[in-house]
Structure 1
Amino acid sequence: METIYLCIVIFLFVLAVFDLIVGVSNDAVNFLQSSVGAKAASFKTVLFIAGLGVFIGAALSNGMMDIARHGIYQPQHFYFAEIMCILLAVMLTDVVLLDVFNTMGMPTSTTVSMVFELLGGTFALALIKVQGSDTLGLGDLINTDKALSVIMAIFVSVAIAFFFGMLVQWLARVVFTFNYKKKMKYSIGIFGGIAVTSIIYFMLIKGLKDSSFMTPDNKQWIQDNTVMLIGFCFIFFTILMQVLHWLKINVFKVVVLLGTFALALAFAGNDLVNFIGVPLAGYSSFIDFTTNGAGSSPDGFLMSSLLGPAKTPWYFLFGAGVIMVYALCTSKKAHNVIKTSVDLARQDEGEENFGSTPIARTLVRLSMTMSNNISKVMPEGMKRWLDTRFRKDEAILADGAAFDLVRASVNLVLAGLLIALGTSLKLPLSTTYVTFMVAMGTSLADRAWGRDSAVFRITGVLSVIGGWFITAGAAFTICFFVAMIIHFGGTFAIIALIGLAIFSLIRSQVMYKKRKAKEKGNETIKQLMQSSNNAEILELLRKHTREELVKVLAFTEENLERTVTAFLHENLRGLRRSMGSVKFEKQLIKQMKRTGTLAMCRLDNNTVLEKGLYYYQGNDFASELVYSIGRLCEPCLEHIDNNFKPLDTIQKGEFSDVTEDIIYLLQVCRHKMENNDYESFENELRKANDLNGQLSHLKREELQRIQSQAGSIKVSMVYLTMIQEAQNVVTYTINLMKVSRKFQLME
């Protein structure tokens, strides 16, 4: 029996390695977003500083894993087997759940996921224990106060971080303006002093509060002399930052890199419990059972030992630090999560990754109304003065930066202060929530959310916030059922769930690689936006346009065949799938047009006048192809959904034959466009004319059937629509090829 539980403990540590990797991938955004977004240093330098902070934070942590030992469940009422069941369910759920969020590029809270997984697993076992006991109640088994405090912290930290991020950044921008190098002769020393003092205070209160050298005496001394420490640090660092400024050293870069180190240190020191707390609780339970449980069965040995605190051996902390640094430097998914946060906070408009939602549109409309009302009562002189402080065209941005160093400094300093304040008030603020919402608040204050991008940014922010709540619900629900399955299924269920988790992780990795392969076109756009050579920009735009239009032709080919086949075979599911694909493709077309328009602005006037018309015509024909598939699919879906009579045999045969020819035409055109080879294009022109002639003939024959009342009117109506949209597909395909040839080949 001990062998089985030893294997479980070993597997918990194996899962802990994966959890450290996926957890760091998710939480890297907390301390890298500002420095990466502002290009405060090279990416390797930023990673080195963050990695140093992560390693020191992990190594100095004293390993107080109380939340995993007795924060949610009351271990004195649970047997060894039950505790191991809960802990295994938590780790299986956590690894898979965090990996899903990383794959989607959505930052979430590892603290929330662990707390609610523990709550879900404990609740499952508590229900079973309460049912079989006359003395125990749920209140005796579950510590619900911790979970409730985390839920409240979500609301509190989101609102506070966003508001103060907006307020402090507005004040900082009024002081420094976007052309900050001209406005910081003496103010930079005071700002640097406040910033570095705040960061030092943050490191002492939050980052190092549980470090091995932070004894109760040291903590008490810091608490008793806080005012003196802050005052001394402020005077010293104000003078130091002013001197550094006179020595031509960019103080904002110093603040950003120091803030990155501080947040990384705090993350590793305090969030380590989220990754290795559960395996260490399992290890401690196993040691207690094998040492003191002689003669007891796993189902009869109570785990009262978990009530006491535990010190983690240094080699566990050292190993965790090494793994976290490795994950930080190598994880592509970490870079993906950082990209989501940076894109939502960037100063320029660029390519938006999120769509528009009714809530976002309503919020933008309300904000505009409020802004207009404030503007009416504000004196004209003040409005003009404020406008001089917010001239975005004067922004000093590093090459490829999403925002400037002023905002990056405010992000890090304010996030650190709020987290330190929450810690001192014993509020369980989430590092993820605070850092993300501060970044969103500062970007709003910087007027980065213009009228053309605000609705997309708000949708993105709401999507991330929604993901946080989904994390809590999913963690609780999944872990609840996993714990139930393990409890009743025993060893067989454990093996099956482990296999399922491994399969899920492998599948997630494969899907992620496929998705990244599809996004390679974005690299072309990035190169294009960074280039200043007109000929290179035109060539890159041609390449990007080819890739996008080939995707549209592939979509048309696939969904035309699927729609027609599903309709002829009365396959409702296939038609719904096509309709869903059309809706998604419409969003991609909008994004393609927006990106292309931004790219066209990079060309010189002569090139735009010569090539611009062909480019925009190509986008329009691509849109029409997608909308034609939608107009074809919609009546077919309605017809089958209402169980109306199908097409007769003659109609099916006629349309099947012509559809095969249209799909072949689409395939040939797609290959020509993909290879940028438009030789012998006249053959496709002749084929298209023949197809349109065939379809016109089918239309005339169907009109004759209607005249003679030979069939159902409903069937005839949907059939005529199918013929018309098939003609549109042929026409728009040929027109797309014509303008693409002119855009790609003509000089």
Structure 2
Amino acid sequence: MDYIYLIFVIVLFALAISDLIVGVSNDAVNFLNSAIGAKAAPGYIIMIVASLGVLVGATFSGGMMEVARKGIFNPQMFNFAEIMTIFLAVMITDVILLDLFNTIGLPTSTTVSIVFELLGASVAVSVVKIAMDATETMADLGTYINSGSALAIIGGILLSVVLAFLIGSLVQYLSRLLFSFRYRRNLKWAGSAFGGIAISAIFYFIVIKGLKGTTYIPEYILEYVKTHAFTIIGVSFIGWTLILQILYGLFKTNAPRVVVIVGTFALAMAFAGNDLVNFIGVPLAGLASYKAYAASGMEASEYMMDILAQPVQSGTFILLGAGAIMIATLWTSSKAKSVVATTVDLSRQDEGEERFDATAFSRFMVRASVNFNEGVAKILPAGVRKGIESRFQRPDEPEDPGNPAFDMIRAAVNLSVASILIAIATSLKLPLSTTYVTFMVAMGTSLADRAWGRDSAVYRITGVFTVISGWFMTAIVAFSAAFLVALFLNYTNIVGIVIMVGVAAIFIIKTHAAHKSSEARKKERATENEQEFIDETGKYLDRSNNAVKTALIKASKIYFVAINGLINEDRRKLKTIRNEIHDYNNHIKDLKDNLYRFLTKLNKLTPETGHYYVQVLDYMREMAHALNYVVEPAHDHVANKHKSLKKEQQKELAELSEKISEIFNKTIHLVKETKYNELGEIVTEMEGLINHIQEMRRQQIKRIKKGAVNTRNSMLYLGLMQESKNLLLFMINLLKAQRDFVIYTEKHLD
């Protein structure tokens, strides 16, 4: 049976490669969000720096491998077969769980997932062992699980969340008081010292402390570093301060920008040093277990895994290979970009479209914070209050070009604080969550920097607690899923492994397809929205016409497919069109959200021009609502298997759908050719069609009086009539508003 366990090891490493890919997609946010958010350098430079950090950091992971071997459970209490069941359950669960979070674009913790997966799987196997042993009870579970270590790890992770937020807030607040938002004028006297402190701290904790984890640094160098730590820190501070001051004097080099670049390298290095264990620690432990078992000549059910309690040194080439996979994923993963976007959006300084909605809790938090701040303001002297306010007064134009999400000062603090905290934990061999630390530092600096203003705070707070809730769900789901998978594998062996690996593969393929489709729709919407913004060539009329034409084309398709799907009871077609109406609503919402940006570009034109453009968007939004009230009831009616429409109803709806499609075609042609002189004829035709809808409504009322239809049928049919009428009315108003927008704009240009 040795070959079966060899297959198990191969599966573990195959899953490790997959886990590296999905794990890096999730954790890229940890070291990319600050540099990307501040636009510290061109994208390819940021990626190169991060890649080098990952490659170097991968060799610092050796000491962390102990967590996967004996940090959560007592390996000497399990035989080889049981250990392999635990490891396989952990890796299968981890791949599925991380990929799920990547797909929905939420950052989660690979450390928390691996800890709770190991805990869940080992508890499951322990329960089976206890159940099969007549002398043991559930009270003996503590002999199998390293509960003290597990609780220490979990407690450290939770504590790191609080500390990261508080320290990030404090350091950012002090940094902003020192530099203000007009920080460039203060760089000549404080920038070099600020950069020297930040880079020295990063240098000490990342490089010097990290040396203890390498597999190739001579012992005498490590001893020298340990003995002369403060000397090295002092020399580093003086050296970096002088270097930055010289660079500023000669080239006006931005010291915070240098800190961001160095910090990105350092944080990527810390990430690889701390989190690589989450991806390959379990497979390496599985390989070590297999080698020991194969050399023992014993049965898998008899060979106890005392060997896992011994220290381990991971091969440098294996670590570098894992680092290479991480780097390749970093450059190619679209899911990594989605996760980064979530953190950047929640911490950006300016207003705009928010990714999350307000909740009762976020509103309570904002009210409480406002009341607290007002109370503190009353206590502070007026002069102090005025001085603090002046440091947080933002300039009309940002100090950094390219409209970054936040400035270099905040990016430098994010990276410095996060990398130091992570490196301290790594040097102490505590597997804290790099995701939790970097995210909470970013949120803390955002709060201190007043990025959460009165107009955005409720949405940002909702987003933060959504992410944090996802973290708790990570722990619960990871434990539960690994527990169940371990039980399943324990009783099914090789058959169960094949099934679960197949499930994981299918899940990843499905989520990849769903994410790709979602990103394609977002890209299409972004392209369409960008067409709404005016350039200097005066093409905004064409772009506005194109936006209205696109909206009419989509509306025509949605209405026609929805009515025909209802008539033919085609649930699949209705489900597809329901997704399209969701995208259509989002497209119109994006246009509304970007209204302020568009109107600021119309400031050279007359107020009437902006007024009519606002009306255009309002009527497009109302059309989207009317279509939604057509699609949703039709889908629900068919999906719930309610009674089919009567033959005469089907005929009436089919005729109405054809007539409305003809109206849509005429309006699309009118907008495309800008023949608004023909609008009167189309309006007259629409009004006649509205009268026809009223006649259809009267026919339905007659059917109700005769008892020919039931309540559900009547509600659906009358609702469709009302929304069809609304659709036509809003279309008339849309065309009139677009006509007036064109007329006033052309008059101004003339």
Question: Does TM, normalized by the shorter one, top 0.5?
Answer: yes
Residues 1:498 and 2:501 aligned together? yes
In the alignment, the residues of structure 2 paired with residue 736 and residue 157 of structure 1 have an alpha-carbon distance, to the nearest angstrom, of 54
Shift of 1:523: 3.8
Q: Is this contact kept in 2: 1:525–1:599, CA < 8 A?
A: no
In the alignment, the residues of structure 1 paired with residue 289 and residue 122 of structure 2 have an alpha-carbon distance, to the nearest angstrom, of 16
Residues 1:279 and 2:280 aligned together? no
What does residue 22 of structure 1 align with? 22
In the alignment, the residues of structure 2 paired with residue 437 and residue 78 of structure 1 have an alpha-carbon distance, to the nearest angstrom, of 38
Shift of 1:261: 1.0
Alignment partner of 2:536 out of 513, 533, 536: 533
In the alignment, the residues of structure 2 paired with residue 362 and residue 405 of structure 1 have an alpha-carbon distance, to the nearest angstrom, of 32
Q: Is this contact kept in 2: 1:78–1:303, CA < 8 A?
A: yes
In the alignment, the residues of structure 2 paired with residue 733 and residue 675 of structure 1 have an alpha-carbon distance, to the nearest angstrom, of 15
Q: TM-score, normalised by structure 1?
A: 0.88
Letter in 2 for 1:352: E
What does residue 689 of structure 2 align with? 691
Instruction: Flag the 1:228–1:110 CA change in 2: closer, same or farther, 3 A.
Output: same
Deviations 1:41-86 (A, max 9, x none): 1111111111111111113443651111122222212121111111
What does residue 113 of structure 2 align with? 113
Deviations 1:500-521 (A, max 9, x none): 1111111111111111110113
Q: Is this contact kept in 2: 1:103–1:333, CA < 8 A?
A: yes
What does residue 623 of structure 1 align with? 621
What does residue 510 of structure 1 align with? 513
Structure 2 unpaired stretches of 5+: none
Q: Is this contact kept in 1: 2:35–2:46, CA < 8 A?
A: yes
What does residue 229 of structure 1 align with? 232
Alignment partner of 1:403 out of 406, 418, 423: 406
What does residue 337 of structure 1 align with? 339
Q: Is this contact kept in 2: 1:355–1:587, CA < 8 A?
A: no
Aligned residues: 739
Q: Is this contact kept in 1: 2:264–2:415, CA < 8 A?
A: yes
In the alignment, the residues of structure 2 paired with residue 110 and residue 358 of structure 1 have an alpha-carbon distance, to the nearest angstrom, of 30
Letter in 1 for 2:151: L
Shift of 1:103: 1.7
What does residue 732 of structure 1 align with? 730
Instruction: Flag the 1:519–1:675 CA change in 2: closer, same or farther, 3 A.
Output: farther
Residues 1:356 and 2:338 aligned together? no
Instruction: Flag the 1:479–1:447 CA change in 2: closer, same or farther, 3 A.
Output: same
In the alignment, the residues of structure 1 paired with residue 499 and residue 664 of structure 2 have an alpha-carbon distance, to the nearest angstrom, of 44
Equivalent residue of 1:107, what SS? coil
Q: Is this contact kept in 2: 1:65–1:309, CA < 8 A?
A: no
What does residue 369 of structure 2 align with? 367
Equivalent residue of 2:62, what SS? coil
Deviations 1:26-49 (A, max 9, x none): 111111111111111111111111
Residues 1:316 and 2:318 aligned together? yes
Instruction: Flag the 1:418–1:511 CA change in 2: closer, same or farther, 3 A.
Output: same
In the alignment, the residues of structure 1 paired with residue 640 and residue 277 of structure 2 have an alpha-carbon distance, to the nearest angstrom, of 56
Q: Is this contact kept in 1: 2:86–2:121, CA < 8 A?
A: yes
Deviates more, 1:615-624 or 1:731-740: 731-740
Q: Is this contact kept in 2: 1:662–1:730, CA < 8 A?
A: no
What does residue 37 of structure 2 align with? 37
Equivalent residue of 1:65, what SS? helix
Shift of 1:476: 1.4
Q: Is this contact kept in 1: 2:700–2:714, CA < 8 A?
A: yes
Shift of 1:665: 5.2
What does residue 186 of structure 2 align with? 183
What does residue 9 of structure 2 align with? 9
Q: Is this contact kept in 2: 1:563–1:574, CA < 8 A?
A: no
Letter in 2 for 1:244: L
Deviations 1:684-703 (A, max 9, x none): 65653343122211334456
Deviates more, 1:124-133 or 1:734-743: 734-743
In the alignment, the residues of structure 2 paired with residue 20 and residue 256 of structure 1 have an alpha-carbon distance, to the nearest angstrom, of 26
Alignment partner of 1:208 out of 201, 207, 211: 211
Give matches, 1:376-455, under 5 Å.
376-392=378-394, 393-422=396-425, 428-455=431-458
Q: Is this contact kept in 2: 1:195–1:255, CA < 8 A?
A: yes
Letter in 1 for 2:286: G
Shift of 1:450: 2.1
Shift of 1:708: 9.1
In the alignment, the residues of structure 2 paired with residue 642 and residue 507 of structure 1 have an alpha-carbon distance, to the nearest angstrom, of 26
Alignment partner of 1:143 out of 131, 146, 155: 146
Q: Is this contact kept in 2: 1:63–1:317, CA < 8 A?
A: no
Shift of 1:132: 0.6
In the alignment, the residues of structure 2 paired with residue 531 and residue 697 of structure 1 have an alpha-carbon distance, to the nearest angstrom, of 45
In the alignment, the residues of structure 2 paired with residue 667 and residue 150 of structure 1 have an alpha-carbon distance, to the nearest angstrom, of 63
In the alignment, the residues of structure 2 paired with residue 712 and residue 325 of structure 1 have an alpha-carbon distance, to the nearest angstrom, of 62
In the alignment, the residues of structure 1 paired with residue 175 and residue 556 of structure 2 have an alpha-carbon distance, to the nearest angstrom, of 50
What does residue 293 of structure 2 align with? 289
Letter in 1 for 2:75: P
Letter in 2 for 1:617: Q
Equivalent residue of 2:59, what SS? helix
Deviates more, 1:484-493 or 1:629-638: 629-638
Letter in 1 for 2:9: V
Shift of 1:129: 0.7
What does residue 303 of structure 2 align with? 301
Instruction: Flag the 1:648–1:620 CA change in 2: closer, same or farther, 3 A.
Output: same
Equivalent residue of 2:354, what SS? coil
Residues 1:601 and 2:605 aligned together? no
What does residue 261 of structure 2 align with? 257
Equivalent residue of 1:605, what SS? coil
Q: Is this contact kept in 1: 2:196–2:238, CA < 8 A?
A: yes
Deviations 1:3-34 (A, max 9, x none): 22212211211221111121111111111111
What does residue 69 of structure 1 align with? 69
Q: Is this contact kept in 2: 1:158–1:437, CA < 8 A?
A: yes
What does residue 199 of structure 1 align with? 202
Letter in 2 for 1:496: I
Deviations 1:341-385 (A, max 9, x none): 112111211222222222222222222222223333333333332
In the alignment, the residues of structure 2 paired with residue 546 and residue 412 of structure 1 have an alpha-carbon distance, to the nearest angstrom, of 46
Equivalent residue of 2:73, what SS? coil
In the alignment, the residues of structure 2 paired with residue 258 and residue 557 of structure 1 have an alpha-carbon distance, to the nearest angstrom, of 57
Letter in 2 for 1:300: E
Deviations 1:284-329 (A, max 9, x none): 111111111x1x3322222221111211122211211211111112
Shift of 1:279: 0.9
Letter in 1 for 2:117: E
Equivalent residue of 2:194, what SS? helix
Q: Is this contact kept in 2: 1:94–1:117, CA < 8 A?
A: yes
What does residue 174 of structure 1 align with? 177
In the alignment, the residues of structure 2 paired with residue 367 and residue 587 of structure 1 have an alpha-carbon distance, to the nearest angstrom, of 34
In the alignment, the residues of structure 1 paired with residue 170 and residue 673 of structure 2 have an alpha-carbon distance, to the nearest angstrom, of 53
Equivalent residue of 1:134, what SS? coil
Shift of 1:549: 6.4
Deviations 1:147-204 (A, max 9, x none): 3334333432222222222222122112111111112332122212211111112214
Shift of 1:388: 2.1
Deviates more, 1:590-599 or 1:383-392: 590-599
Letter in 1 for 2:21: I
Q: Percent identity at matched positions? A: 41
In the alignment, the residues of structure 1 paired with residue 607 and residue 128 of structure 2 have an alpha-carbon distance, to the nearest angstrom, of 74
Instruction: Flag the 1:58–1:627 CA change in 2: closer, same or farther, 3 A.
Output: same
Instruction: Flag the 1:481–1:444 CA change in 2: closer, same or farther, 3 A.
Output: same
In the alignment, the residues of structure 1 paired with residue 191 and residue 501 of structure 2 have an alpha-carbon distance, to the nearest angstrom, of 55
In the alignment, the residues of structure 2 paired with residue 303 and residue 670 of structure 1 have an alpha-carbon distance, to the nearest angstrom, of 76
Instruction: Flag the 1:308–1:365 CA change in 2: closer, same or farther, 3 A.
Output: same
In the alignment, the residues of structure 2 paired with residue 710 and residue 230 of structure 1 have an alpha-carbon distance, to the nearest angstrom, of 88
Equivalent residue of 1:601, what SS? helix
Shift of 1:452: 2.0
What does residue 94 of structure 1 align with? 94
Shift of 1:410: 0.9
Letter in 2 for 1:588: N
